[in-house]
Amino acid sequence: MSSSWTSTNILAQSNFIDLNLSNADFTDRNCRGYKFHKCDLTYANFTGVNLIDAQFIDCTGVCTNFTNVNLTHSFIKHCTFEHANFTNAQLAAAKLRTLYCYLCNFTAANFDGAIIINFKNRLSCFNNAICSTMDFKNFDPASVYDSSIINAGPDTRGFYFIAIRHDTTPMIAAGCHWFTLAEAYAHWSNRHFSKPALHAECLARLDLISTVAKARNWSIT
């Protein structure tokens, strides 16, 4: 990063290109549509910031704070975050492309309708995250290595069965569906009778999720 920030120029601009924004404090600002390209966001604080339609491209950050941030319709590409906090972040309809996260916190983050392409995650926390209608196109099954996610893989149609740990029951994201485990069993027990192999496969993936969830001592109701 070639340049550093000051508190004055944070207020004066909306495009941040090739800047060292370490320790920058954007707390509660309206940064809708802002662009961050090739920036170092280490220890930057975005708590409560409006980042609707914002862009983060080729950025890096360690311990970046995105708590309660609104990243709806944002575009995040070629970014790497370590120990970043995305608790309660709104990522609805966001486009996350080639994003690497290590030991990040996505507790209660909302990914509703997000498009995930090449999301590489290691040891991050997704407890109570909302992933309804999340698009797992080109999802990398090796990218999920985390105790709050169970990746049961794709069925023969290419739809991934992903379980997210919630307080009372695993929530299942599969295709356009977002079910409790009980709802998922009820749904797929009554589907695909004309395709017995697919019917059995869907239920088997739920059995896998149930077995692993119990082994991890997840709550199941």
Predicted confidence at residue 140, as pLDDT, reads: 56
Inform me whether the pLDDT recorded for 7 exceeds 70.
Answer: no
Model-wide pTM > 0.95: no
What is the C-alpha separation between 201 and 11, in angstroms, rounded? 54
Dihedral (CA of 84, 111, 213, 156) sign: negative
Q: Which of 5-9, 34-38, 68-72, 96-100 has the lowest mean pLDDT?
A: 5-9
Q: CA geometry: angle at 94 spanning 122 and 110, to 5°? A: 70
Strands (E), 40-94: 55-57, 60-62, 75-82
Q: Which of 180, 179, 177, 186 is nearest to 168 (CA)?
A: 180
For 170-215, the pLDDT digits (tens) are 999 888 889 999 999 999 999 999 999 999 999 999 999 999 999 9
What is the C-alpha separation between 44 and 58, in angstroms, rounded? 16
The share of the chain scoring above pLDDT 70, in percent, equals 88
Inform me whether the pLDDT recorded for 77 exceeds 70.
Answer: yes
Q: Which of 64-68, 84-88, 123-127, 139-143 has the lowest mean pLDDT?
A: 139-143
Question: Are 54 and 31 a contacting pair, CB within 8 Å?
Answer: yes
| In the chain, alpha helices (H) | 7-12, 181-188, 196-215
Confidence of residue 1 (pLDDT cuts 50, 70, 90): very low
Q: Which of 94-108, 132-146, 150-164, 173-187 has the lowest mean pLDDT?
A: 132-146
Show contacts of 170-173: CB within 8 Å, 24+ apart: 170/209, 170/210, 170/213, 170/218, 170/220, 171/130, 171/131, 172/206, 172/209, 173/131, 173/132, 173/134, 173/136
Predicted confidence at residue 209, as pLDDT, reads: 96
What residues contact 211, with CB distance under 8 A and at least 6 apart? Answer: none
- Domains annotated for the chain, with CATH where assigned, are 1-142 (2.160.20.80), 147-221 (no CATH)
Averaged over 136-164, what is the pLDDT? 76
Q: Which of 55, 85, 87 is nearest to 68 (CA)?
A: 87
Inform me whether the pLDDT recorded for 72 exceeds 80.
Answer: yes
